[in-house]
Chain A
Amino acid sequence: MLELWQYAFFQRALLSAVVLGFTCSVMGVFIVLQGLSFVSAGIAHGAFAGVALALLLGFNPLLGAAGTALVMALLIGQTNRRGKLNLDASIGIVFSAALALAVLFIGLMPGYTADLMGYLFGNLLAVTTTDLWVSIVVGAVVIATITLFYKEFQFTAFDPVMAEAAGLPVKALFDGLLVLVSLAIVISLKAAGELLVIAFIVIPASTAWQWSNSLTQMLFLSAGFGVAAAVLGLFASYYFDIPTGASIVLILILFFAVSSILAPQRRAVRRTKGLAAKEV
């Protein structure tokens, strides 16, 4: 166990796991509460298409991922506002377009694309010092923005019509949320992989929801589940020689399954009935 700490790659991986686990799981709370899980999947596909484009044209994959993820986020926001399509359908269209572009870019690349496969499945142990610093800075920006606009995001997630009636810039907040989730996805892409980053956002928040009676509680629990799964997943990955992304997600699934059995949902239903009966 101790010898692991001597390795710089492991120290970077551990720090990266904490940053990603924390950022994605906090971000995920607002995504899950607003029923936008499919949005994160769409943006992740867009980010992957950006990585493929960057590798094809020979520039930094992170920049490619950030560019296409942000375009995806704004496209989804715009399509949703046009009002003729459900959000669900508009994400489906943008999602398919991004995936088709990714496949096209991969097809145009000569030879085996090992780098690209790294972004598809993720590997925390391959995180570089630059990757780590980018994650820390971008993650801090995401968390600071959520903290700053906490009450606005809370009101919009709970009752968007009333939030708009109260004068809050609901459309800008929605776009802002999509931009923040795009940033969280981009910094997680290399470590968690395009296919598994969605789980990093959706599962900790969904697990925390089962135990929470307030938003603050849900945020702290989600962050706890996210960080714990990331760190435990990293150790599991090292000791059992399995892919990091997969081991983290399987631990998240374990947390979710245990919570589904132990969380006080049944008691909550009983309490609801009890309170209703006591109504004057």
Chain B
Amino acid sequence: MISFDRVWAGYGRQVVLSDVSFAVAPGEFVVLVGPNGSGKSTVLKTILGLIRPTRGDVQVLGYANREVPKARHQIGYLPQISQVDPKFPATTFDVVLMGCYGQLGLVRRPGSAERQQAVQSLEEVGLSAYLSTPFGFLSGGQRQRALLARALMGAPKLLLLDEPTTALDVSAQHDLIELIYKLCRERGLTVVMVTHDVNLVVGKADKIGYIKGTMLAYDTPNKVLDPEFLSRVYGAEILVVEHEGHKRVIVGDYHA
């Protein structure tokens, strides 16, 4: 589904990713974690073909290197909530409908099939009651669910999530992750998610990757959740505890 083989990428002359290699199999739920500015979002942008690697080989949904942008129509993308202006005059339905604009191509307007699809997408994320509600009137959690509905338009095979829970309260974070996990398993979607909080996805991720300019580790959660290794990556004291069969990461002064 996705393969990075010794990939180097960045912005202009600034190298953000160096020698990154990993592979994602169809149907896997992969989580990428790492400190701020470590290159997590750059991996997503490389998968989307928004950034072209300077070295190495990238394959996404059967498209390689220069051809990677052709895979975009099979990819759903959920950005950070801070990326969109909630004051923008658009209803929730308008926002979800935008999910089909890329597939429609230039000039062509969405028809009844696309509108029906947007209604279904909103139903799936539990927002059908908010169809004509202005997007800015929704809570943070509801807005992210609307953007998830937009990402699911056009039945993507791959879903990319860029810190989807940032700025949400704990309960909304949990609800959103549960919804994403449920929808992805139901649809057999492959997911690559970037997050700061590994605890949110420990019981759900098939693989966890640690990025800090390069891929420091990439394996199943049980293998990579090592306190010594994590402390080195984040530069802080980190403890890994086990609770109800799942590992949990605790950062900072956990003796207090």
Contacts and interface: CB of A to CB of B under 8 A. Distances in A.
Interface of A: 33, 83, 148-152, 154-155, 157-159, 161-169, 209, 212-215, 217-218, 268, 271-272, 275-276, 279-280
A151 B89 contact: no
Interface of B: 11-12, 48, 50, 69, 72-73, 75, 77, 79, 83-85, 87-91, 94-95, 98-99, 101-104, 106-107, 109-110, 126, 130, 133-134, 136-139, 141-142, 150, 172
A275 B91 contact: no
B12 A162 contact: no
Contact of B136 (A165, A167, A272): A272
A170 B110 CA distance: 19
B12 A159 contact: no
A212 B139 CA distance: 19
Given A83-B11, A159-B83, A167 B142 contact: no
B137 A158 contact: no
Contact of B139 (A155, A161, A165, A275): A275
Pick the 10 closest A-B CB pairs, nearest first: A166-B102, A276-B139, A213-B134, A212-B89, A167-B102, A218-B89, A167-B72, A272-B137, A165-B48, A165-B77
Contacts of B87: 209
A82 to B, nearest CB: 9
Contacts of B91: 213-214
30 contacts: A83-B11, A151-B110, A152-B106, A154-B94, A155-B98, A155-B101, A158-B84, A158-B88, A158-B90, A159-B79, A159-B83, A161-B83, A162-B83, A166-B73, A166-B99, A166-B102, A167-B73, A168-B101, A168-B106, A169-B106, A213-B134, A214-B90, A214-B91, A215-B90, A215-B94, A268-B137, A271-B137, A272-B138, A275-B130, A275-B137
Given A83-B11, A275-B137, A280-B126, A149 B72 contact: no
A149 B106 contact: yes
Contacts of A213: 89, 91, 134
B77 A279 contact: no
A217 B84 contact: no
Contacts of A162: 77, 79, 83, 98, 150
Contacts of B50: 164-165
Contacts of B126: 280
Contacts of B150: 162
A150 B94 CA distance: 13
- Pick the most buried of A149, A275, A279: most chain B CB atoms within 10 A of its CB: A279
The majority secondary structure among interface residues of chain A is helix
B88 A33 contact: yes
A141 B196 CA distance: 48
B102 A168 contact: yes
Nearest to A83: B12
Nearest to A152: B106
Contacts of A154: 90, 94, 98
Nearest to B86: A272
A183 B156 CA distance: 40
Contacts of B69: 167
A57 B229 CA distance: 72
A210 B237 CA distance: 49
Given A151-B109, A165-B77, A214-B90, A279 B142 contact: yes
B141 A279 contact: yes
A104 B88 CA distance: 41
Contacts of B130: 275
A165 B3 CA distance: 19
Nearest to B109: A151
A163 B89 contact: no
Nearest to B140: A276
B121 to A, nearest CB: 15
B20 to A, nearest CB: 20
Contacts of A276: 138-139, 142
Contact of B94 (A161, A214, A272, A279): A214
Nearest to A82: B12
Contacts of A83: 11-12
Nearest to B136: A272
